[in-house]
Structure formats: structure tokens, C-alpha cells
């Protein structure tokens, strides 16, 4: 199923992505991937959520790491190319655009968690934490595109906030 999701992201990026300006978005794509890779590295022994494949491609997508790498390589660049490439100028449209993306990611996670068994939450993580995370994530993507240092600073603050709220033991960090 994860292959289908990523194929849909790729097709959407081909159709709606701003490929003419991909170089402008490249640093933000790398930021998106780096922040997720860092989260996976630090929380390797204390994951807040894990992906699994249940429908087909189980031999190819054998664990969370393989699935997450595919998401980083396909869904994240596709998201940035569409999300930033079509980001509106008017404030109210920006709020609607960001809300649409938050809703898309959140509803996909909800379906994957509650109906398809493709994601599991751990250590107190739940759909409301995912919602907050998505609000911050899509805000950070926009901020990073305009002001990378500010996005990195705010990302560190949000990470420290989550680390304290979820009381991640330092000995669990890789």
C-alpha cells in the first residue's frame, strides 16, 4: 500500500509540482529529509510511530526503515514541489492551502492507522499529536523556504519541547 501512496505522490508531483523552480525548493526538500532522518536516528530505539506494510510488497518494504526511506525519496520531494510551488500569495488562501495539506496528511495517517494497519503509534503518541506535528511541519516547510536558519532554530525548539513532553530517555537515543 505504501508503494501506491508514493506512486500517487509522484504522479501528483509530475502533474502539479513546480518543476521549473525545483532548484529553489531543493534546500527545503533536503531540510525535510534531514529532519526526518535525524528523528529516525535519535529515536531508533524509542520510535513515536512505526510504518509497516500489510498488503503487498512486504518482501520489498520489510520494515519501518525501508518504508521511511521510500517516503523520504518520493513523498517528501513531491510534497515540497506541490506545496511550495503552488503556495498562494493572499493570507487567507495560505491558511486554506496549509490546512488542506495538514488535512491530507492527517486523514491518510488516520486511515492507515485505524483501517489499514500501516502505521502504529507508540509511547503516548496519538492522532492529536500528529495533528500538532503536521501544523508545525507545514509551517516549518514554508519558513525554511524563506528563512532556513529560523526554521532550523524553531525545529530544534519544537524537538526539545517534544522530547520533554514525551520524556524520551537519553539512554534510548542512538
- The pLDDT profile of the chain, 174 residues, written as one tens digit per residue, is 778 899 999 999 999 999 999 999 999 999 999 999 999 998 888 899 999 877 766 666 777 888 899 999 999 999 999 999 999 999 999 999 999 999 999 999 999 999 999 999 999 999 999 999 999 999 999 999 999 999 999 999 999 999 999 998 888 776
Buried b (16+ CB within 10 A) or exposed e, 21-31: eeeebeebbeb
How many angstroms separate the Cα of 150 from the Cα of each of 41, 50, 133, 153? 23, 29, 17, 5
State the Cα–Cα distance between residues 7 and 13, nearest whole angstrom.
Answer: 10
Among left, alpha and beta (phi > 0; psi -120 to 50; other), residue 126 is beta
Give the domain ranges of the chain.
2-172
State the Cα–Cα distance between residues 124 and 73, nearest whole angstrom.
Answer: 28
State the Cα–Cα distance between residues 96 and 63, nearest whole angstrom.
Answer: 35
Instruction: Write down the residue that cell numbers 503518541 correspond to.
Output: 125
Grid cell of 134 as nine digits: 503536521
pTM of the complete model? 0.93
Amino acid at each position: 500500500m505504501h508503494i501506491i501512496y508514493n506512486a500517487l505522490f509522484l504522479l501528483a508531483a509530475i502533474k502539479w509540482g513546480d518543476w521549473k523552480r525545483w532548484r529553489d525548493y531543493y534546500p527545503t526538500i533536503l531540510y525535510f529529509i534531514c529532519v526526518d532522518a535525524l528523528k529516525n536516528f535519535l529515536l531508533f530505539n524509542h520510535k513515536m510511530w512505526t510504518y509497516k506494510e500489510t498488503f503487498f510488497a512486504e518482501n520489498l518494504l520489510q520494515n519501518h526503515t525501508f518504508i521511511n526511506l521510500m517516503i523520504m525519496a518520493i513523498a517528501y520531494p513531491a510534497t515540497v514541489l506541490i506545496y511550495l510551488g503552488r503556495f498562494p500569495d493572499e493570507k487567507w488562501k495560505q491558511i486554506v492551502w496549509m490546512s488542506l495539506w495538514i488535512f491530507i496528511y492527517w486523514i491518510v495517517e488516520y486511515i492507515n492507522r485505524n483501517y489499514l494497519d500501516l502505521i502504529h503509534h507508540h509511547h503516548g503518541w496519538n492522532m492529536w499529536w500528529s495533528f500538532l506535528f503536521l501544523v508545525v511541519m507545514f509551517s516549518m516547510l514554508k519558513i525554511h523556504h524563506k528563512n532556513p536558519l529560523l526554521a532550523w532554530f524553531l525545529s530544534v525548539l519544537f524537538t526539545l519541547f517534544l522530547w520533554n513532553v514525551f520524556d524520551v530517555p537519553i539512554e534510548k537515543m542512538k
